[in-house]
């Protein structure tokens, strides 16, 4: 009941249907109707509709999608649309289920967006490890070609479009748009210097629009239901609906689609709250790189602006939720290890800084931190912060600084006590029941 | 004077750095603007000739106002930030934020650095060391584990990489990709495991690879030639000019203990910018072998034996006096202009002969007529490097810049990358250099250059560069000079560093016999004696005939640094100073006079050519005929008209024609003693197109023998079937280990027979 009020399934509406990834099923539930509508309108008209809907990028930065589209020169060809499906932030799992359950939503979004921007070739760059979603998207693209939604003269409109589905080679950094372009061109996945911005010189040095999977997948709904519907949802500056991913120590982890006016508490309650016998310790709002929040922030509205105010970001709307059994030192170390592993190595602070942070955090975890190590940890984080080439290193820094900010004493315990003694790790496994816990005691 | 305000220059922006206003052209990076103001900002990845990378982050500065009233909350990399009007910049000198950030980056750069400065070649001239002292913390705080790599990694026969020292500035990989176009090295792995490595499987055998040793801001890249041989603070540096080719690069020769330890590219923006090729950088030890001539030698009973200077001078004077004006003078193309002028004076004033020539290679009467009219020789608005950089269209004819003037190649490549220069190559095949210049190749068989040039649309925006090989192509040099009639500009590029200076100095047959005519006259007895200096007989079109001519001559005086084929045939040999032991001037292909400095001044240095010639003149009873500082006099140009230029000799129908030139690294005696350099030479292959290969039954992997006609002995190569080779043409390098096409009678533009080598 309350679920109905909070949840507004749009992108996720068809996920539960039988063979929802097949074209026939997608069409049965209104699929490709938005495309037909769009093709009857002028590209400018479609672009204006999306721009006026105030749709903002769902990949983390929150840049207005329609505005991004209008940056590419109209009369300069060729130009490209690139869909960023390199979802790999810890905790983030919204694009992969979408591509698994309803790849045609993305394909339809790509066609409409490409039509609006005026591109004849679009690329879908999907994380290489996500083999099954890649297969689903490839199959969907193939079906769309056969149905005349792709290729020459789409639905008799005179508009031509080809989609290339490209599998990445396994690097978090390739979710950064310019590193993605390098990777797509077959080069080393390292971020590029800006300017020139991709809208001026992107893929193969041609004007390029890069959008997140979810941003593009939202476009058909905007075309079908109109910008006013979209504007009626969300907050003043964060419009529409989006997919929130909840994971960790909640009873019902998963994807929850709601307007951007939803609060963390509402989503947390929908997920059933913390597993029985435990309580919330800390959570991320938008993936590990947005840092951690505690119960104090439980009533925060999950939109772009409100999260900035509490020192976090909406990011990829990935809420990792941890109960009181969790060692924040261990969690922080695992995250920073991830960033160290995924650093592309281009710039000094990220390459060397994450290397150092991991070594320091391991000493805290093992209870072997030396006098002054906490100050050193924060100082090294400060040396990295803000001077790296791209925001990857900032993610690692935010993990550390927010963790120390909220749980300083737990780090201080690391001068004497190993984290696994302070908070035995087996208790924090998601499937540990109170009974097991009792037995452990 | 009215007190009108000075109008602001619309092409300049004024940026304030540490309170100092600097006006810089639009588009200037903040780090460059700071240099203009004399403000030091530490940096590693930044290099003014490479595209910005923003990788090391060492150069971060605070920008409280970007010129639009808003500032950046965090420090910004000054090597990637473009100066804007009204921008406020605070470097570490005035901003605590910038100072702390720079200190932090340095600390991070050092955590994985081995700190092995005491055994590192770079120690003492190391940007990491210097900046760590100037901008770093007094004490490091890192107590963790350092990254380890097996060391060194051999990138090429010449280059070694100590990965532990690397700071990942990417200068080497960017140089390889952007400047040289040889992207054979690349960053590999990622994150903390990042390392410089091979892009594919090929070693980094670029002609320009040595530059990365010089621009490496740490000691990660070292050369086999110099590694562990000196400390920078013990070296004495001398700025001089390279003797490797006619490009005229400024070099810095560093010596210790009376020996040049290394040569580095100098900083001469008008010529080589800050680059040099490996031939110039590493090829300087050939004078150190056992064959160095250290005392005069006089032939007694058929043997050359050491003699005193007075004895040798007396013997030489006696022989030359007997021959009188029936003496030829060959100077080779490697002398300074001053030395060439001394030979010219010695020939004309002392001996009274007009038979003097600086060319030790294929030549022609047409060349003798055309070359003195070259703008660079006359110093009449010659084409310059800057002109090449700004040109719209450059035509290469009989000229492979990467092999024949590597720095010209780099400038052309820069123009192609930055200024959209179009390059057209009239060449027998599409070379690696042509590929890297994105050149349009007009397949041209040797001998057909004049016709190919006539077929091009040339205008005032075109520069035509012709190489010395054109001498062997009838009509080609006349056609080269003839492009001026269409408004195009032209330049002639000899390979040897002293030829243009020698022509200017008069060591050129204005009214006398050229090199080949002198040799013929010696053979026939019309000439009796020869003074020969710095000529390799193997460089001549017919080495055997040249040797026979020397054997036939009544009297030969050789002035040499090393015992050569010519010296072995001489009656008197005088030792002369190496180039590094002498001072003078080289005139490069632009006609630019460049100083050659005396690097070594050991008391036991042999005398210079000029001094020996003066002593000889005295011994001949003609003192004062060879002045110490001879005035240069240009050879009077002969007139030549394109109409009367000789027409190419027709090649027999269906016959194959040989195309050839000497590659940059071959068996040149100047490269002796530097095996790592020679090992970096390109694979030795003969190139033929698929049709030619098919007709001869040659398949990939086969070996092919080239000879003057079927059945006679020739030279055998690995066959490379290359579809870009012009029809009816076979290309092979002129020289390399163990062979000389000329010795087998093979020459560019002449018929060649090919046969599949049958395994014995």
Nearest to B192 among A190, A343, A346 (CB): A343
CB contact under 8 A, A355 and B107: no
State mean pLDDT over B292-319: 97
Q: Is it the case that residue A399 has pLDDT exceeding 50? A: yes
The CATH number covering residue B603 comes to 3.40.50.740
pLDDT on residue B414: 98
Q: Looking at the 3D structure of chain B, how many domains does it have?
A: 5
Per-residue pLDDT of B217-238, as tens digits, reads: 999 999 999 999 999 999 999 9
CB contact under 8 A, A348 and B56: yes
Q: Is residue B121 part of a domain?
A: no
Distance from CA of B67 to the nearest CA of A (A): 17
Query: CB of A403 within 8 A of CB of A322?
Result: no
Residues whose CB falls within 8 Å of the CB of residue A20, separated by 6 or more in sequence, listed in order: A14, A26, A101, A102
Do both B547 and B677 map to the same domain?
A: no
Q: Is residue B136 part of a domain?
A: no
Tokens linked to B150: 């097996």
The CATH number covering residue B245 comes to 3.30.70.20
**What is the DSSP track for B587-627?**
E-TT--EEEEP-----TTPPPPHHHHHHHHHHHTT-TTSS-
Query: CB of A132 within 8 A of CB of A138?
Result: no
Degrees to nearest 5, angle at CA B134 with B131 and B137: 95
Picking from B682, B712, B154, B709, the residue whose alpha carbon sits closest to that of residue B433 is: B682
Residues whose CB falls within 8 Å of the CB of residue A46, separated by 6 or more in sequence, listed in order: A38, A112, A115, A116, A223
Q: Is it the case that residue B631 has pLDDT exceeding 60? A: no
Q: Is residue B317 part of a domain?
A: yes
**What is the DSSP track for A393-434?**
HHHHHHHHHHHHHHHHHHHHHTTTS-HHHHS-GGGGSTT--H
Mean pLDDT of chain B: 94
pLDDT on residue A440: 41
Per-residue pLDDT of B462-515, as tens digits, reads: 999 999 999 999 999 999 999 999 999 999 999 999 999 999 999 999 899 999
CB contact under 8 A, B112 and A352: yes
Do both B206 and B280 map to the same domain?
A: yes
| Nearest-Cα residue of chain B relative to residue A170 | B190
Picking from A267, A225, A262, A228, the residue whose alpha carbon sits closest to that of residue A247 is: A267
Per-residue pLDDT of B554-586, as tens digits, reads: 999 999 999 999 999 999 999 999 999 999 999
Q: Is it the case that residue B92 has pLDDT exceeding 50? A: yes
Peptide bond into A195 cis (omega under 30): yes
The CATH number covering residue B684 comes to 2.40.40.20
Q: Is it the case that residue B719 has pLDDT exceeding 90? A: yes
The CATH number covering residue B447 comes to 3.40.228.10
Q: What range does the domain containing B676 cover?
A: 656-756
For CA atoms B289, B290, B292, B295, the dihedral sign is positive
User: What residues in A contact B128, CB-CB < 8 Å?
Assistant: none
| Nearest-Cα residue of chain A relative to residue B141 | A376
Q: Is residue B453 part of a domain?
A: yes
User: pLDDT-derived band of residue A433, with 50, 70 and 90 as boundaries?
Assistant: low
Lowest mean pLDDT among B263-272, B615-624, B706-715: B706-715
Do both B350 and B403 map to the same domain?
A: no
pLDDT on residue B10: 80
Chain B interface disruption, residue of A347, A375, A377, A378, most B CBs within 10 A: A347
Residues whose CB falls within 8 Å of the CB of residue B313, separated by 6 or more in sequence, listed in order: B296, B615, B616, B618, B619
Do both B428 and B510 map to the same domain?
A: no
Do both B221 and B252 map to the same domain?
A: yes
Peptide bond into B152 cis (omega under 30): yes
- B363-393: string of b/e by CB count within 10 Å (b at 16+)? bbebbbbbbbbbbbbbbeebbbbebbeebeb
The CATH number covering residue B35 comes to 3.10.20.740
Query: CB of B383 within 8 A of CB of B590?
Result: yes
Alpha carbon distance B211, A64 (integer Å):
46
Query: CB of B37 within 8 A of CB of B20?
Result: yes
Do both B276 and B253 map to the same domain?
A: yes
Higher-pLDDT residue of B641, A214:
A214
pTM listed for this prediction:
0.94
Query: CB of B211 within 8 A of CB of B275?
Result: yes
pLDDT on residue A436: 47
User: pLDDT-derived band of residue A438, with 50, 70 and 90 as boundaries?
Assistant: very low
How many whole angstroms from its chain centre is CA A119?
25
Alpha carbon distance B78, B96 (integer Å):
16
CB contact under 8 A, B104 and A352: no
Do both B412 and B509 map to the same domain?
A: no
Q: Is it the case that residue B655 has pLDDT exceeding 90? A: no
User: Which residues between 182 and 221 in chain A have a beta carbon less than 8 angstroms from any beta carbon of chain B?
Assistant: 188-190, 193
Q: Is residue B645 part of a domain?
A: no
Do both B352 and B438 map to the same domain?
A: no
User: pLDDT-derived band of residue B650, with 50, 70 and 90 as boundaries?
Assistant: low
Do both B374 and B455 map to the same domain?
A: yes
Higher-pLDDT residue of B632, B269:
B269
Where does a domain end: B55, B81, B105? B105
Where does a domain end: B494, B517, B532? B494
pLDDT on residue B738: 86
Q: Is residue B113 part of a domain?
A: no
pLDDT on residue B546: 97
Alpha carbon distance B557, B327 (integer Å):
10
Q: Is it the case that residue B635 has pLDDT exceeding 50? A: no
Tokens linked to B229: 């041989």
Order of strands across the sheet that contains B440-443: B440-443, B422-427, B393-397, B462-467, B489-493
Nearest to B141 among A343, A354, A376 (CB): A376
Cβ-based burial of A176 (10 A; exposed 0-12, middle 13-18, buried ≥19): buried
pLDDT on residue B649: 54
Nearest to B57 among A379, A380, A388 (CB): A388
**What is the DSSP track for B233-280?**
GG-EEEEEE--SSTT--EEEEEEETTEEEEEEE--BTTTTBT---HHH
Q: Is residue B266 part of a domain?
A: yes
Is residue A383 less than 8 Å (CB to CB) from chain B? yes
Do both B463 and B508 map to the same domain?
A: no
Is the ipTM higher than 0.90? The answer is: yes
Query: CB of B167 within 8 A of CB of B219?
Result: no
Where does a domain end: B285, B310, B337? B285
Torsion angle, alpha carbons of B282, B284, B290, B294, to 10: -170
pLDDT on residue B224: 96
Do both B580 and B510 map to the same domain?
A: yes
CB contact under 8 A, B57 and A387: yes
CB contact under 8 A, A342 and B186: no
Q: Is residue B633 part of a domain?
A: no
pLDDT on residue B651: 55
Q: How many CB pairs under 8 A join A and B?
A: 104
Is residue A353 less than 8 Å (CB to CB) from chain B? yes
Distance from CA of B74 to the nearest CA of A (A): 6
Do both B449 and B435 map to the same domain?
A: yes
State mean pLDDT over A130-137: 97
Query: CB of A376 within 8 A of CB of A414?
Result: no
pLDDT on residue B627: 84
Per-residue pLDDT of B31-88, as tens digits, reads: 999 999 999 999 999 999 999 999 999 999 999 999 999 999 999 999 999 999 999 9
Per-residue pLDDT of A223-255, as tens digits, reads: 999 999 999 999 999 999 999 999 999 999 999
pLDDT on residue B6: 66
């Amino acid at each position: 009941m309350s679920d109905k009020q909070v949840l507004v399934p749009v992108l996720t509406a068809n996920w539960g249907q039988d063979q929802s990834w097949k074209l026939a099923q997608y069409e049965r539930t209104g699929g490709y109707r938005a495309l037909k509508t769009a093709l009857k309108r002028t590209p400018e008209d479609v672009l204006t509709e999306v721009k006026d809907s105030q749709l903002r990028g769902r990949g983390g930065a929150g840049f207005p999608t329609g505005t991004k589209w209008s940056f590419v020169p109209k009369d300069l060809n060729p130009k490209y649309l690139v869909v960023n499906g390199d979802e790999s932030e810890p905790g983030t799992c919204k694009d992969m289920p979408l591509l698994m359950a309803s790849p045609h939503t993305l394909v339809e979004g790509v066609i409409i967006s490409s039509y609006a921007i005026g591109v004849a070739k679009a690329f879908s760059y999907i994380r290489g490890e996500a083999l099954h979603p890649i297969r689903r998207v490839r199959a969907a693209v193939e079906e769309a070609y056969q149905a005349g939604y792709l290729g020459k003269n789409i639905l008799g409109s005179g508009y031509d479009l080809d989609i290339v589905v490209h599998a990445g080679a396994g690097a978090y950094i390739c979710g950064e748009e310019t590193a993605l372009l390098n990777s797509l061109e077959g080069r080393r996945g390292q971020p590029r210097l800006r300017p020139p911005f991709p809208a001026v010189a992107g893929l193969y040095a041609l004007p390029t629009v890069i959008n997140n999977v979810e941003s593009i997948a939202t476009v058909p709904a905007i075309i079908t239901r109109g910008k006013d519907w979209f504007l009626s949802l969300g907050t003043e500056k964060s419009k529409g609906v989006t997919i929130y991913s909840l994971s960790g120590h909640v009873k019902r982890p998963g994807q929850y689609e709601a307007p951007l006016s939803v609060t963390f508490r509402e989503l947390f309650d929908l997920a059933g709250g913390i597993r029985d016998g435990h309580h919330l310790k800390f959570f991320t709002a938008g993936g590990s790189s947005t840092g951690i929040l505690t119960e104090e922030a439980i009533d925060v509205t999950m939109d772009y602006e409100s999260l900035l105010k509490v020192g976090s970001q909406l990011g990829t709307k990935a809420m990792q939720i941890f109960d009181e059994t969790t060692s924040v030192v261990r969690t922080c170390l695992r995250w920073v290890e991830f960033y160290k592993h995924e650093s592309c190595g281009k710039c000094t602070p990220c390459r060397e800084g994450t290397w150092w942070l991991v070594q320091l955090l391991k000493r805290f975890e093992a209870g072997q931190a030396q006098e002054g190590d906490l100050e050193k940890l924060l100082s090294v984080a400060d040396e990295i912060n803000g001077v790296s080439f791209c925001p990857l290193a900032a993610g690692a820094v935010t993990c550390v600084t927010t963790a120390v900010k909220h749980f300083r004493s737990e780090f201080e315990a690391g001068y004497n006590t190993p984290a696994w003694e302070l908070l035995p790790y087996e208790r924090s496994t998601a499937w540990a029941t109170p009974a097991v816990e009792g037995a452990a005691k | 004077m009215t007190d009108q305000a000075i109008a602001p220059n619309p092409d300049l922006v004024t940026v304030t750095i540490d309170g100092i206003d600097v006006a810089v052209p639009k588009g200037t990076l903040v780090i460059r603007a700071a240099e203009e103001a004399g403000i030091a900002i530490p940096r590693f990845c930044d290099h003014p000739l490479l595209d910005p990378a923003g990788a090391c982050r060492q150069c971060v500065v605070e920008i409280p106002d970007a010129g639009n009233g808003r500032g950046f909350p965090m420090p910004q990399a000054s090597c990637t930030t473009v100066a804007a009007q009204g921008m406020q910049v605070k470097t570490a000198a005035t901003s605590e934020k910038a100072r702390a950030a720079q200190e932090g980056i340095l600390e991070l750069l050092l955590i994985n650095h081995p700190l092995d400065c005491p055994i590192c070649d770079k120690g003492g001239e190391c940007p990491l060391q210097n900046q760590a002292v100037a901008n770093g913390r007094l004490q490091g705080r890192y107590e963790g584990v350092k990254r380890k790599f097996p060391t060194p990694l051999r990138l090429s026969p010449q280059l070694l990489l100590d990965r532990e020292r690397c700071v990942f500035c990417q200068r080497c990989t960017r140089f390889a990709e952007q400047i040289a176009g040889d992207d054979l090295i690349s960053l590999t792995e990622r994150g903390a495991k990042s390392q410089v490595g091979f892009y594919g499987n090929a070693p980094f055998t670029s002609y320009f690879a040595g530059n990365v040793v010089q621009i490496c801001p740490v000691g990660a890249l070292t050369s086999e030639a110099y590694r562990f041989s000196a400390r920078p603070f013990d070296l004495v540096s001398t700025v001089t000019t390279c003797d490797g080719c006619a490009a005229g690069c400024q070099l810095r020769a560093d010596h210790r203990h009376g020996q040049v330890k290394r040569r580095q590219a100098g900083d001469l923006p008008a010529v080589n910018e800050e680059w040099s090729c490996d031939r110039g950088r590493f090829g300087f030890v050939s004078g150190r072998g056992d064959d160095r001539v250290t005392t005069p030698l006089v032939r007694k009973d058929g043997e050359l034996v050491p003699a005193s200077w007075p004895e040798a001078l007396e013997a030489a004077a006696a022989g030359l006096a007997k021959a009188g004006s029936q003496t030829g003078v060959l100077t080779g193309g490697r002398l300074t202009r001053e030395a060439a002028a001394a030979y010219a004076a010695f020939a004309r004033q002392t001996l009274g002969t007009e038979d003097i020539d600086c060319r030790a290679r294929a030549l022609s009467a047409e060349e003798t007529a055309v070359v003195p009219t070259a703008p660079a020789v006359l110093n009449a608005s010659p084409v310059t490097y800057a002109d090449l950089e700004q040109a719209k269209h450059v035509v290469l004819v009989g000229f492979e810049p990467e092999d024949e003037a590597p720095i010209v190649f780099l400038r052309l490549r820069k123009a192609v990358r930055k200024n959209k220069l179009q390059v057209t190559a009239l060449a027998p095949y599409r070379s690696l250099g042509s590929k890297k210049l994105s050149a349009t190749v007009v397949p041209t068989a040797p001998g057909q250059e004049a016709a190919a040039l006539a077929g091009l649309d040339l205008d005032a925006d075109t520069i035509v560069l012709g190489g010395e090989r054109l001498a062997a192509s009838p009509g080609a040099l006349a056609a080269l000079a003839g492009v001026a009639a269409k408004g195009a500009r032209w330049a002639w590029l000899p390979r040897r560093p002293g030829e243009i200076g020698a022509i200017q100095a008069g060591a050129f047959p204005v009214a006398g016999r050229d090199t080949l005519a002198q040799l013929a006259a010696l053979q026939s007895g019309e000439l009796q004696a020869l003074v020969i200096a710095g000529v390799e007989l193997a460089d001549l079109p017919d080495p055997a005939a040249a040797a026979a001519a020397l054997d036939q001559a009544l009297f030969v005086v050789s002035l040499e640094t090393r015992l050569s084929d010519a010296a072995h045939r001489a009656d008197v040999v005088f030792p002369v100073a190496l180039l590094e032991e002498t001072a003078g001037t080289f005139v490069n292909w632009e006609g630019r006079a460049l100083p050659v400095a005396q690097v070594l001044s050991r008391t036991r240095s042999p005398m210079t050519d000029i001094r020996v010639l003066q002593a000889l003149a005295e011994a001949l009873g003609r003192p004062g005929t060879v002045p110490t500082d001879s005035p240069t006099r240009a050879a009077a140009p002969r007139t030549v008209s394109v109409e009367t230029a000789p027409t190419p000799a027709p090649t027999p129908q269906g016959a194959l024609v040989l195309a050839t030139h000497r590659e940059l690294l071959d068996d040149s005696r100047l490269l002796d003693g530097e095996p790592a350099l020679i090992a970096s030479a390109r694979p030795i292959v003969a190139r033929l197109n698929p049709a030619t290969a098919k007709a001869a039954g040659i398949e990939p992997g086969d070996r092919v023998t080239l000879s003057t006609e079927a059945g006679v002995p020739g030279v055998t190569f690995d066959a490379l079937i290359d579809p870009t080779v012009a029809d009816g043409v076979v290309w092979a390098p002129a020289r390399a280990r163990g062979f000389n096409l000329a010795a087998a009678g093979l020459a560019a533009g002449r018929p060649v027979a090919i046969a599949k080598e049958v395994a014995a």
